[in-house]
Amino acid sequence: MSVFMEAAAAVVGTVAFSLLFGVPARFYPYCGLIGGAGWLVYGGLMNGMTAPSAALAATIVVIFLSRTFAVRERCPVTIFLISGIFPLVPGAGIYWTAYYIVTDDLALAVRTGFLACKVAVAIVLGIVFVFELPQKFFTFAAKKQEEVDDR
C-alpha cells in the first residue's frame, strides 16, 4: 500500500474518530487534514529513519497544524490535537506486545514493547516541543476581524 493510500485512510480514520470524540462537524476537514498530514510525514520518513524519529517529526507537524487551526478558528487546540494524533498512537505495538506475552515469546514482547514506549515518548516530546512555542508565533493564522464579523 502506498504512503498516499495510507494517508487517505488516516484522513478517514481521523474524521471517524473526530465524530466519536464529539468534535463539531465544521472542524472535520481540519481534523482529517491534520491526521492525514501527520501520517504522510510518518510514512514518508519510515524508510530513512527509525519509528520513534519518524513519529517525533510527524507529531511536530500534527501539533503545529493543530495550534495553527486552533488560532484560526478560535477554538481549543485539543479539538485538533487529540483527533490528529490518533493515527500515530502505537496501538499495534501495544497489541503485539500483549500478544507475544500471551504466546510466551518474551524476547519479542520486550522488543516490541520497548519500541512502542519509544514511539509514545517521541509523541510526548513532539507535543511538548511545539507547545513551548509562544502563542504569538501562530498569529499569522488568525482571521482578520472582518472575516470573524461575517460569521
Domain residue ranges in the chain = 3-89+130-144
Residue 148: pLDDT band by 50, 70, 90 thresholds? low
Alpha-helix runs per DSSP H in the chain: 3-21, 28-45, 51-73, 78-85, 91-102, 106-131, 145-149
pLDDT in the model for residue 141: 75
pLDDT in the model for residue 145: 57
Cβ pair 54, 45 in contact under 8 A: yes
pLDDT in the model for residue 140: 81
Question: What 3-state class would DSSP assign to 118?
Answer: helix
Is 146's pLDDT higher than 60? Answer: no
Q: Whole-prediction pTM value?
A: 0.88
**Which residue has 499569522 as its cell numbers?**
140
